[in-house]
Structure 1
Amino acid sequence: MGDSLSYWHLISNASLLVKLVMLVLVGLSIATWVFIYERRKVMNTASAKFSEFEERFWSGIDLAHLYRQVNANPDEVNGGEVLFRAGFKEFSRLRAQNVTDSDAIMAACQRAMRVALSKEAERLDAHLNFLATVGSTSPYIGLFGTVWGIMNSFLGLASVAQVSLATVAPGIAEALIATAMGLFAAIPAVIAYNNFSARSDKMLGNLEVFAEEFASILHRQTHILANQNKKQGA
């Protein structure tokens, strides 16, 4: 390709609106890659920390001792720890108030863990809507720039006495660059959205299973405490 038809030459000679479209697409592409890097780091960290905490939880350690450990240095990006602290905190609070109704205790603990799980879901799904939006709209933004550029090219041909491929090709080429840039922004965004959405769903599913297992342990604890209170009251 000669210098007269280099990509930079085609972009610089595009109309103002097409240039604005290209600038928007470049901005969306840069933001997409920033969020891809950030989400990848968040997902990897969340998975590693949850696995580490789950191993500690099932190691046979006393839950009260584990709660004191994690509460002394809370990690807000560890989903398993956040759920554990929320549930056990509510359990300890009600036990300190001498609440003996096991159903009331379990309802309060599960409600606290649901709130914590909802916040964790918001953290894991952050910026995914942006990736989905870029993936679905960037091709149309690029197509708009292409249509506008081609329309201007054909309008310019009206003042040309003799039309040849040499006069048509540059205008069409510069217009098609907008579509290419739209696809360049959209494809990574779609791939990243599908990947991170699947990883988020898997992570939240693991947290839900952990919350159910932890709730079962707390349920047994409440029955043990209720039986002890009955024996003491007898």
Structure 2
Amino acid sequence: MKRYWIGLGLWLLVITVHVQASESTAPAESGSVVTALGSQSTHLSVDALSPLGMYQAADPIVKAVMLILLAASGVTWAVLVTKQWQLGRACRRLAPLVSLCAHAESFAAAKAAASCHQGTGLAFLSAAQTELALSEQVDAVSQGVKERVQARLERVQVAQASMMNRGTGVLASIGSVAPFVGLFGTVWGIMNAFIGIAHTQTTNLAVVAPGIAEALLATALGLVAAIPAVIVYNYFTRALAAYRAQMGDLAVAILVLVSRDLDSERNAQTELAWRQAG
């Protein structure tokens, strides 16, 4: 009986020592596992969760969305550079003609002085000159000459503004559509992330995070494309309004010169008629 109890006690002692030894090695093993997971997570965050890594790991549909948004952003900056150069050059060339016509004594003098200038302002002078040349075929001074000249100047103003406004409509389209394109990429990416969760049957953040990050990158690219497009579009809207106002000033200055010349010619004819009658 005593041998039984002594054997049972020795057996329990052996089991206790074995358990304690297992518990002492478990933290080291878990620590090594945590360290490995930590290093793996760090490697994942540096490589797979970078913008380039997320693009490379994304679904083909999401990749296409990202490329479309990057192309739209490039179009925005291309339009900004091109239209800024065109509009700036047009305004610089138009300003001297406005000042010249505003201080000229007659339309002929303004036309002669503007021969050394370039730009859209010459189209206004040519349109007025064309109408005056056609009106000279009438025997008497017509009362509708100013109205016809004004109509031609208005058409030139509309044509020049339309030509300068060409290409800015795409900015409005990008600003309104790009967020929804990015949202489509996000929805598609999150859908794929949920499908991956269903296949792996795990909700571990290390497994779920890359797919969600790829999806959110599409939304970020949509905002990157849309926000500058809206800002640039609003900027060109104000700049084109100022350009139209400058063309309006030139048209008014030319119309004043034409009216002055017509009144001077009418007064000369009236004075000649009085002299002949006297």
TM-score (norm 2): 0.76
Residue 134 of structure 1 is matched in structure 2 by: 174
Partner of 2:15: none
- Aligned equivalents of 1:18 and 1:121: distance in 2? 39
Q: Tell me the residue number matched to 2:66.
A: 22
**Quick one: distance in 2 between partners of 1:58 and 1:228?**
23
Q: How does 1:83-232 map to 2 (within 5 A)?
A: 83-102=124-143, 104-232=144-272
Partner residue of 1:79? 120
Distance change >3 Å, CA 159–CA 55, structure 1 → 2: same
Specify the SS of the correspondent of 1:162: coil
C-alpha distance in structure 2 between counterparts of 1:224 and 1:35, whole Å: 48
Partner of 2:30: none
Q: Identity across aligned pairs (percent)? A: 30
Query: Counterpart of 1:150 in structure 2: which amino acid?
Result: I
Structure 2 counterpart of 1:52, which letter? P
Alpha-carbon distance in 2 for matches of 1:197, 1:89: 32
**Which residue among 30, 51, 54 is the counterpart of 1:7?**
51
Q: Distance in 2 between matches of 1:135 and 1:96?
A: 53
Distance 2:71 2:65 in 1: 10
Residues 101, 254 of structure 2: 8 Å contact kept: no
CA contact (8 A) 1:90 1:108 kept: yes
- CA displacement, residues 149-202 of structure 1 (integer Å, 9 cap, x when unaligned): 111111121112221111110000001111111111111111111011101011
Q: How far apart are the structure 1 equivalents of 2:48 and 2:184?
A: 25
Deviations 1:44-86 (A, max 9, x none): 112111112223323436531432454x6774xx333322221
Report the alpha carbon displacement of residue 223 of structure 1 after superposing the two structures with TM: 2.2
Pair 1:49 & 2:90 matched: no
Distance 2:152 2:193 in 1: 62
Unaligned runs of 5+ in 1: none
**Distance in 2 (alpha carbons) for counterparts of 1:144 and 1:63:** 60
When Rg is computed on C-alpha atoms for both structures, the one with the higher figure is 2
Task: Report the CA distance shift for 1:215/1:63 in structure 2 as closer, same or farther (over 3 A).
Answer: closer
Deviation at 1:143, TM superposition (A): 0.8
Q: 1:14 to 1:108 in 2, by over 3 A?
A: same
4+ residue runs over 3 A deviation? 58-62, 72-75, 96-99, 230-234
CA distance in 2, matches of 1:66, 1:25: 50
- In 2, Cα distance between equivalents of 1:153 and 1:118: 53
Change (3 A) 1:99 1:206: farther
- 8 Å contact from structure 1 (residues 99, 105) kept in 2: no
Unaligned runs of 5+ in 2: 1-44
* Aligned-partner residue type, residue 27 of structure 1: A
Contact conserved, 1:25 with 1:182, CA < 8 A, in 2?
A: yes
Q: RMSD of the TM alignment (CA)? A: 2.0
Go from structure 1 to structure 2 and tell me whether the alpha carbon gap of 1:63 and 1:213 turns closer, same or farther (over 3 Å shift).
closer
Aligned residues: 230
| CA distance in structure 1 between the aligned counterparts of 2:207 and 2:237, rounded to whole angstroms | 47
* 1:210 Cα deviation from its structure 2 partner: 2.7
Q: Could you tell me how far apart the structure 2 residues matched to 1:56 and 1:218 are?
A: 14
Native 8 Å contact 2:168 2:233 kept in 1 = yes
Q: Tell me if structure 1 keeps the 8 A contact 2:182–2:218.
A: yes
Normalising by structure 1, we get a TM-score of 0.89
**Structure 1 contact 145–175 (Cα < 8 Å) conserved:** yes
